[in-house]
Structure 1
Amino acid sequence: MIVMDNEAEPETAHRPHRKPLALVNARLVDPASGLDAFGGLLIANGAIADLGMHITEGSIEGAESLDCGGRTVAPGLIDMMVFCGEPGHEHRETLATASRAAAAGGVTTICCMPNTDPVIDDVALVDFVLRRARDTALVHVHPMAAMTRDLMGEDMAELGLLRDAGAIAFTNGKTSVANAKLMRNVLSYAKDYGALIVHHLEDADLAQDGVMNEGEVATRLGLRGIPTEAETMMLDRDIRLVELTGGRYHAAQISCRASLEVIQAAKARGLPVTCGVSINHLTLNENDIGSYRTFFKMTPPLRSEEDRQAMVEGVASGDIDVIVSAHDPRGAEGKRRPFAEANDGAVGLETMLGAGLRLFHNGEITLHRLLNALSARPAELLGLAGGRLVKGAPADLALIDLEMPWTVAREDLRSKSKNTPFDEARFEGRALVTFVAGRPVYHYG
């Protein structure tokens, strides 16, 4: 049995474990191949060396072993939307604290959004994030660069140079590019580089100063609403531009049935279009705002229960490709305000898996579909080697107890900010051990 520290030291986080390690007596679940079988998995030199029923206690000479007790070994989760404060807002979150939160949630790769100060729209800033992550983070970190300078939506950034520097995709963060000609140019240039464009969907003029979903609940609370059309109209425009340019396009978050129908139609026409949904929009709805609870203020806003159910159906059918945490740390000074004045955003790296497993236990989404949207599909879209249980793949893994009950305690979150909508929520299932390059970077308990 291997003895693991509760959290690995940052400077050793990306070094392969020194001795081969056999995870035995495990349920191996690989959403990419459909594998679901009991057996073992051998880790050597930071990669998966072998897996199958033949790997048992003592079967591999010279290897340490970890008895998984029949629990699930799956690819580590890959989160395509993480807002991190570094550089510029380290009081809200750093790459180090975000990586510890990720590891505790079974997440082995995070994609950082460019909403920093300064904005990640320069080669030097891409390099800074990569170097800082290498020195301080426990998990893999890939920066998404700004598609427009300073995220202003006016001038296109140097996409080719940013991609060469290590940007994994391009986005305008939490704002949409309103200028259709500029968006066309972005998609055209991105196609030349084979780059993925990840776009936030909101028509700012239609949304105006809305703070929650438009409808009966907003009217009752006396709050200005944002119609679903603000999202769907922007998505429909973007799909037409994709058809015009052929560029690879990913809708960062959709939140309503009408947007799902637009995505389904685009995919039916064979367009290079994919989409994501946040774990919040899969498990919460506008009614959770209750008596102006600001931890439930998000962008896009929480929608109706009918729209939430549509999002679940989209993941279950595979029409929605990925699930993201939309991790967005906010301090008390930004959240403890009247609802209309409060910052939007919620932390989610540590709760994404537990919240997602609610859908599995309720019978709404199969385990394979859930894990596919959390690991295999984002790896495929981003061109990453992880997200799979196959020989030679990186040993970025999560050992998950699907049945373990636990209660979210805000004060125990590893994120610097504590703005979780799941405070005191009861979950069933969590990551017990998280491996990055074969090394345990988190151990529960």
Structure 2
Amino acid sequence: MLLKNLRPVSKEHNGKDTIDIRIQDGKISEIGKSLKAEKGEDAHDFEGAYVSPGWMDMHIHLREPGYEHKETIKTGCAAAAFGGFTAVACMPNTQPATHTRDVVEYIIKKGNETPVDVHPIGCVTKDRAGKSIAEMGDMKDGGAVAFSDDGDPVYDSQVMRVALEYSSMLGMPIINHEEDLALSRPGHMNEGRVSTRLGLDGTPSIAEETMIARDILLAEYTGGHIHVAHISTKGAVDLVREGKKKGINVTTEVCAHHFDLTDEEIEKQKFNTNFKMHPPLRTQEDVDAMIEGLVDGTIDVICTDHAPHAIEEKEVEFIYAPNGIIGLETAWSISNMRLFKTKKLDLQQLVEKLCYSPRKILNLEVPALEEGAQANLTFFNTDEEWTFDPKNVRSKSKNSPYLNKKLTGRAVGIFNRGELVINELR
């Protein structure tokens, strides 16, 4: 296969050159200019689109096993490919919970049927109940890449201490859903002026920040690696920034919607439940802090927290709707519009957040854009205007705040596991 007229973006390339890439047996066999297709070789002209090592979303929910009415591994990976991701790490709030090696291996086996690498995250505690540590070592041997009880925090400090000690011996991170439940429940949105005006119970920013402060201190004490999931408040970014300055092993991620949307959307959109997620949409000050954290390196990763829900689950009163939105298909467009087009980050910096950093945190091999490497590639543009029409949703669910919105920049395809996927708009 010959892929023509691509502008490479990687640690070594800034997207200003144009190259052709020849692939043989799933490997990059040649990189050059004006390469000619050989006999029997498929040629694909990308007309100046960018190419980078394949992106990874390290925080998604594939729902399988147990909640296949929301998403399956197959449909979730189709959404990932449409969003430009060649790899995902999936959270363990499945049924049964991903707390044993057999469930880890089941997810990997199902993922092997897709062009997207699927890396399961195992539970910290059995059944995600927060009481006793799950079989970490066995899950690692089965292919788990990290541990989390996401959907709920590891609430007991002693349990978290033990978890960090065990995971540090395994060289793996604990990814915690940072929420002080006593402060946060039964919040349905961010606690602030908008929630007061709307008469809704709110979740204050301090509920996130107190748990992050605890986990950073525990990581310092144990020497473990704490990864802060879906960070959303200015105070939280400040805490992680200070932790990093002290040399504590703390990393973090931000969802695309948290550096784009604010809690005012809930009022503007008349309680549209596709704007309900957890952590909730925060204030403009928090959005600005997310962008600042990405720019100065405090925030390591851009993710989605892709959380599919069936239509009937979301089409209820706002206070009864489950938290979560899908995000795999729109993450690049939001990142492009809010970070690249505004000149906050350049393409190399964005690829760092989307490709290199998530794999480094999870101790995975980072794909290379060089001859002899396995071809693991994402193709994308920055100028194409398109509409996220429901018919373009590859996820099994359609709970997105960006439905029918005009977006700029699109992932046009991926190549991984010997398979080329071209993302055609429907």
TM-score range, shorter chain: over 0.9
Asked if 2 retains the 8 angstrom alpha-carbon contact of 1:407 and 1:425, the reply is: yes
* Structure 2 runs not aligned, ≥5 long: none
Map 1:127-206; keep pairs closer than 5 Å. 127-135=105-113, 137-206=114-183
> Which of 292, 297, 303 does residue 276 from structure 2 map onto?
297
What residue in structure 2 maps to residue 267 of structure 1?
Answer: 244
What residue in structure 2 maps to residue 429 of structure 1?
Answer: 409
What residue in structure 2 maps to residue 113 of structure 1?
Answer: 91
Instruction: Establish whether residue 41 from structure 1 lines up as the match of residue 18 from structure 2.
Output: no
SS at the partner of 2:138? helix
Deviations 1:369-389 (CA, angstroms, capped at 9, x unpaired): 222111111122122223442
Deviations 1:170-218 (CA, angstroms, capped at 9, x unpaired): 1111111111111010000111111111111000001020111010000
SS at the partner of 1:42? strand
How far has the Cα of 1:43 moved from its partner?
2.2
SS at the partner of 1:308? helix
How far has the Cα of 1:353 moved from its partner?
1.0
What residue in structure 2 maps to residue 368 of structure 1?
Answer: 348
What residue in structure 2 maps to residue 350 of structure 1?
Answer: 329
Asked if 1 retains the 8 angstrom alpha-carbon contact of 2:14 and 2:348, the reply is: no
Distance 1:333 1:64, change over 3 A: closer
Supply the AA of the counterpart residue of 1:93. Answer: E
How far has the Cα of 1:401 moved from its partner?
2.2
How far has the Cα of 1:24 moved from its partner?
2.5
What residue in structure 2 maps to residue 5 of structure 1?
Answer: none
SS at the partner of 1:170? coil
Q: Structure 1 stretch 60-69 or stretch 386-395: which is displaced more? A: 60-69
Instruction: Establish whether residue 216 from structure 1 lines up as the match of residue 193 from structure 2.
Output: yes
What residue in structure 2 maps to residue 93 of structure 1?
Answer: 71
Distance 1:252 1:391, change over 3 A: farther
What residue in structure 1 maps to residue 213 of structure 2?
Answer: 236
> Which of 46, 60, 67 does residue 68 from structure 1 map onto?
46
In 1, the alpha carbon distance for the partners of 2:308 and 2:405 equals: 18
SS at the partner of 2:63? coil
Supply the AA of the counterpart residue of 1:271. Answer: I
Asked if 2 retains the 8 angstrom alpha-carbon contact of 1:316 and 1:366, the reply is: no
Supply the AA of the counterpart residue of 1:230. Answer: A
What residue in structure 1 maps to residue 395 of structure 2?
Answer: 415
- What percent identity do the matched residue pairs reach? 37
What residue in structure 2 maps to residue 312 of structure 1?
Answer: 291
Distance 1:116 1:279, change over 3 A: same
Distance 1:249 1:50, change over 3 A: farther
How far has the Cα of 1:62 moved from its partner?
7.1
What residue in structure 2 maps to residue 78 of structure 1?
Answer: 56
Instruction: Establish whether residue 439 from structure 1 lines up as the match of residue 416 from structure 2.
Output: no
What residue in structure 1 maps to residue 300 of structure 2?
Answer: 321
Supply the AA of the counterpart residue of 2:393. Answer: L
TM-score, scaled relative to structure 2: 0.95
Distance 1:59 1:101, change over 3 A: closer
Supply the AA of the counterpart residue of 1:169. Answer: A
SS at the partner of 1:24? strand
Asked if 2 retains the 8 angstrom alpha-carbon contact of 1:386 and 1:396, the reply is: no
Distance 1:34 1:45, change over 3 A: same
SS at the partner of 2:76? helix
What residue in structure 1 maps to residue 184 of structure 2?
Answer: 207
In 1, the alpha carbon distance for the partners of 2:423 and 2:162 equals: 46
In 1, the alpha carbon distance for the partners of 2:237 and 2:358 equals: 18
SS at the partner of 1:398? strand
What residue in structure 1 maps to residue 35 of structure 2?
Answer: 57
Distance 1:443 1:333, change over 3 A: closer
What residue in structure 2 maps to residue 330 of structure 1?
Answer: 309
Supply the AA of the counterpart residue of 1:94. Answer: T
> Which of 213, 220, 226 does residue 203 from structure 2 map onto?
226
RMSD: 1.6
In 2, the alpha carbon distance for the partners of 1:381 and 1:301 equals: 25
Deviations 1:211-248 (CA, angstroms, capped at 9, x unpaired): 11010000011101111110011000000001111111
What residue in structure 1 maps to residue 82 of structure 2?
Answer: 104
Asked if 1 retains the 8 angstrom alpha-carbon contact of 2:115 and 2:417, the reply is: no
In 2, the alpha carbon distance for the partners of 1:120 and 1:392 equals: 36
How far has the Cα of 1:44 moved from its partner?
2.5
How far has the Cα of 1:340 moved from its partner?
1.1
Instruction: Establish whether residue 406 from structure 1 lines up as the match of residue 386 from structure 2.
Output: yes
Asked if 1 retains the 8 angstrom alpha-carbon contact of 2:14 and 2:347, the reply is: no
Asked if 2 retains the 8 angstrom alpha-carbon contact of 1:78 and 1:387, the reply is: no
Supply the AA of the counterpart residue of 1:25. Answer: N
In 1, the alpha carbon distance for the partners of 2:390 and 2:423 equals: 19
> Which of 259, 282, 286 does residue 263 from structure 2 map onto?
286
What residue in structure 2 maps to residue 253 of structure 1?
Answer: 230
Q: Structure 1 stretch 374-383 or stretch 108-117: which is displaced more? A: 374-383
How far has the Cα of 1:391 moved from its partner?
3.6
In 1, the alpha carbon distance for the partners of 2:200 and 2:345 equals: 33
In 1, the alpha carbon distance for the partners of 2:292 and 2:362 equals: 24
In 1, the alpha carbon distance for the partners of 2:175 and 2:38 equals: 44
